[in-house]
Structure 1
Amino acid sequence: MSEPRVPASSRSAPPVIDLSGGANEPRPETNNRILIPPLRSAPEKPPGAQIAQLGGETMGTVWTARIVVRDETEAIRWQALIEEELERIIALFSPWERNSEISRFNGAPEGTWALSDAFWTVLTRALELADDTNGAVDPTLGSLVDLWGFGPPGRRSPLLPLPEDHEVEAARSKSGWMRLRLNVDARAAVQPGGLKLDLSGIAKGHAVDLISLRLAREGATSHLFEIGGELKGVGVKPDGRPWWVELEKTVGLETPRTIAALYGLAVATSGEARRQFVHGGQTYSHTIDGRTGRPVTNGMVSASVLHDSAMVADALATALTVLGPEEGLDHAEHAGIAALMVHRTDDGLVEQMSPALVAMLDVGRE
């Protein structure tokens, strides 16, 4: 949630309720690369014959939903449900909201502070992923995010010099996932003083998972939900076909489009195009490497990850960006992560696919 602030509720934007279907949806043509996940079970019959397209603003970006419905009344119900859930998530994880749970912890004095069940769940999962990736996922980099102009204090002025070494080291001294202690019995986190959490690399994915789960639980068993380019598909469309989505394509990379069937699957992308600033002719990504305290400079342009969980895909896409082309691909291979990575070399852009992604490739028409 490190994007510029927008109103906390998507009710600030007029709801988009379009029952016209998916005229703009990507189609799996013969000149595209098609990703088909393993089919674990036969799809259920969709609950209606129309597709409602809903949308609004949240977390500094936009959300969209395509939901199979019976009528417009049902579509209005899903719009309200999504907005309700988004308000709850922002109240937990948005550092731009002064009274959010994350803001209260970040501003708290030294001590042990009880966390809500929802916050505890996300934070502990982030720490598990930090352990799995040796810190490439790190939920404690709020001070560094602020220093580089990607947090609530706002963008760094182009008139200012880049952060000096002593500033970076000062922010690093207040950061680091291994500094964060938990009291498991009390479901509490220990604030050592000055540590700032930043869950922007996992909270949007968590929101996608949470809303998708609630939609399915309450009867919207066929839908495609997205926040800022992170998507999850559940069920199939009224014609029995899956939700087709195109993985983000890097400008200047001469490769076919990559189209994925999101059947019980999520996709998230991290990369320099998401948010950046230019200083002295050099581009600085919003992705911070906690090991150096600086934006990544390993040549990574983007990393897309497909996973059952949007939250995990979100975090792993960031992790692969931090790890870089060689270490990232090696981690994806050993961990069985389905990933599409692009990095920059002296000879141009290079694309890499992990073995788990290659295993999903299918050739030809649907």
Structure 2
Amino acid sequence: MERAVLIPAAIDPVLPPSGSRPHTLAGTSMGTGWSARFMVPPSAPPGLEGGLRRLLQAELDLVVAQMSHWEPDSLLSRFNAAPAGSWIDLPDAFYDVIDYALRVRDDTHGAYDPAAGALVNLWGFGPVRRYDQAGFYAPAADAVAAVMAQRGAARVELDRERRRLLQPGGALLDLSSVAKGYAVDRLTLCLDRHGLRHHVVEAGGELRGAGVKEDGQPWWVEVEGVPDADTPQAVVALHGLAIATSGDYRRYFEPVQGRRASHTLDPRTGWPIAHDTASVTVLAPTCMAADALSTALTVLGPEDGLAFAEERAIAARFLVRRSAGLVESSSSAWRQLLE
């Protein structure tokens, strides 16, 4: 079977300056690895690469300091611990992320919710009482109902004019489905600021690319597949595009009522998704959007999610588990990228 190839309609033909050389930087952050590959023009100042590594790491450290639910001193953790009625002033990075996340929440009528941290913790996918630790057990239905009732009375609200966030009391933010994508965007913007417009950056499997390599080829990446599936995966030219995949194979336990309990929870029900979606991949101009939308579409499922993607021209691919194997479906915007 031939591989599908996805290429954006608009390709900037400008090549890296003659004599540019490839360089790679890498490190760790947010419990995963990150990397940046870029073309260094001959006009770059000596030692640029070493300074860039510190700058890129600082971008990631900023995201962790503001948005990590693992760090007790992060801004997110301080918001989660704030008393009811507190208004928390937001720095630009946190504001940009929560603003976008809440817009997706409203657009999906709650299928995506950055304030689902209590559910994440209850199901063992948060920083404590982990699903993969000894003694963990799946929550009972009454425990799920209790958390859902508490969440219903604790809806976070963003004051966009004053750029502040209301802690209604007991609301727990979890930005893990959007902050990593935002961090990838910060890496690419950092490279842009230093004149390195030809690059691809990655963190935890989420990527964003711009420009081309020294031979004029775009940055080719393979679309993430489902483990143990033997179907060839498409390749994408990451030229002004970002890509993110949400999958039920990353963190899960089983069985719960005879089903796999994925880390992707439906904030509307309080339970793991139950429609056999194995993965959703989204291509978007920013990695923050690809990250959040891949999660939102996974919750919505192959029918409602595909309809949502069609209405909004989102490039999305669904892989759904069926008795005969994985079944693929995709949006029109995805198919329009196919070569």
Superimposed CA distance per residue, residues 271-294 of structure 1 (whole angstroms, 9 cap, x where no aligned partner) = 112222234674211111101111
Superimposed CA distance per residue, residues 39-98 of structure 1 (whole angstroms, 9 cap, x where no aligned partner) = 164335358522112211111111111111258833222211111111111001001111
Separation of aligned partners in 2, 1:314 and 1:176: 25
Superimposed CA distance per residue, residues 345-364 of structure 1 (whole angstroms, 9 cap, x where no aligned partner) = 233210111111111111xx
TM-score, length-scaled by structure 2:
0.92
Give the one of 32, 47, 57 matched to 1:83: 57
State the match for 1:109 in structure 2: 83
Give the one of 261, 282, 290 matched to 1:305: 282
**CA, structure 1 residues 316+277, in 2 after alignment: closer, same or farther (shift >3 Å)?**
same
- Answering whether residue 284 of structure 2 is matched by residue 317 of structure 1, we say no
State the match for 2:170 in structure 1: 194
> Which amino acid letter does the alignment assign opposite residue 60 of structure 1?
G
Structure 1 residue 127 displacement after superposition: 0.7
Structure 1 residue 317 displacement after superposition: 0.4
**CA, structure 1 residues 46+329, in 2 after alignment: closer, same or farther (shift >3 Å)?**
farther
**CA, structure 1 residues 159+247, in 2 after alignment: closer, same or farther (shift >3 Å)?**
same
**CA, structure 1 residues 185+329, in 2 after alignment: closer, same or farther (shift >3 Å)?**
closer
TM-score, length-scaled by structure 1:
0.86
Higher deviation after alignment, 133-142 or 244-253: 244-253
Higher deviation after alignment, 328-337 or 90-99: 328-337
> Which amino acid letter does the alignment assign opposite residue 323 of structure 1?
L
Separation of aligned partners in 2, 1:181 and 1:142: 15
Give me the identity figure in percent: 45
State the match for 2:211 in structure 1: 235
Unpaired segments of 5 or more residues in structure 1? 1-29
Structure 1 residue 190 displacement after superposition: 1.3
- Answering whether residue 330 of structure 2 is matched by residue 353 of structure 1, we say yes
| 2:239 aligned counterpart, secondary structure | coil
Higher deviation after alignment, 339-348 or 140-149: 339-348
After TM superposition, where is structure 1 displaced by more than 6 Å over at least 4 residues in a row? none
**CA, structure 1 residues 262+48, in 2 after alignment: closer, same or farther (shift >3 Å)?**
farther
State the match for 1:344 in structure 2: 321
Structure 1 residue 220 displacement after superposition: 1.4
Aligned pairs for 1:114-263 (under 5 A) are: 114-156=89-131, 157=133, 159-175=135-151, 179-263=155-239
State the match for 2:48 in structure 1: 74
| 2:148 aligned counterpart, secondary structure | helix
Separation of aligned partners in 2, 1:176 and 1:311: 26
Q: How many residue pairs get matched?
A: 333
Structure 1 residue 115 displacement after superposition: 1.8
The question of whether the paired residues in 1 share the 8 Å contact of 2:309 and 2:331 is answered with yes
Superimposed CA distance per residue, residues 313-354 of structure 1 (whole angstroms, 9 cap, x where no aligned partner) = 001100111011111111111111111110112332101111
The question of whether the paired residues in 2 share the 8 Å contact of 1:109 and 1:191 is answered with yes
The question of whether the paired residues in 2 share the 8 Å contact of 1:47 and 1:68 is answered with no
The question of whether the paired residues in 2 share the 8 Å contact of 1:140 and 1:176 is answered with no
The question of whether the paired residues in 2 share the 8 Å contact of 1:46 and 1:222 is answered with no
Superimposed CA distance per residue, residues 242-288 of structure 1 (whole angstroms, 9 cap, x where no aligned partner) = 00000012235453320000001000000112222234674211111
Separation of aligned partners in 1, 2:94 and 2:18: 33
The question of whether the paired residues in 2 share the 8 Å contact of 1:145 and 1:151 is answered with yes
Higher deviation after alignment, 72-81 or 314-323: 72-81
| 1:86 aligned counterpart, secondary structure | helix
The alignment's C-alpha RMSD in Å is 2.1
Superimposed CA distance per residue, residues 190-224 of structure 1 (whole angstroms, 9 cap, x where no aligned partner) = 11111001111110111111121121121111110
Separation of aligned partners in 1, 2:322 and 2:177: 26
State the match for 1:275 in structure 2: 251
| 1:268 aligned counterpart, secondary structure | strand
> Which amino acid letter does the alignment assign opposite residue 299 of structure 1?
D
The question of whether the paired residues in 2 share the 8 Å contact of 1:225 and 1:232 is answered with yes
The question of whether the paired residues in 1 share the 8 Å contact of 2:246 and 2:281 is answered with yes
Aligned pairs for 1:36-75 (under 5 A) are: 36-39=7-10, 41-46=12-17, 49-70=20-41, 73-75=47-49
| 2:327 aligned counterpart, secondary structure | strand
The question of whether the paired residues in 1 share the 8 Å contact of 2:154 and 2:169 is answered with no
Give the one of 24, 27, 31 matched to 2:2: 31
**CA, structure 1 residues 348+31, in 2 after alignment: closer, same or farther (shift >3 Å)?**
closer
Separation of aligned partners in 1, 2:166 and 2:135: 37
Unpaired segments of 5 or more residues in structure 2? none
| 2:151 aligned counterpart, secondary structure | coil
> Which amino acid letter does the alignment assign opposite residue 182 of structure 1?
L
Separation of aligned partners in 2, 1:277 and 1:41: 45
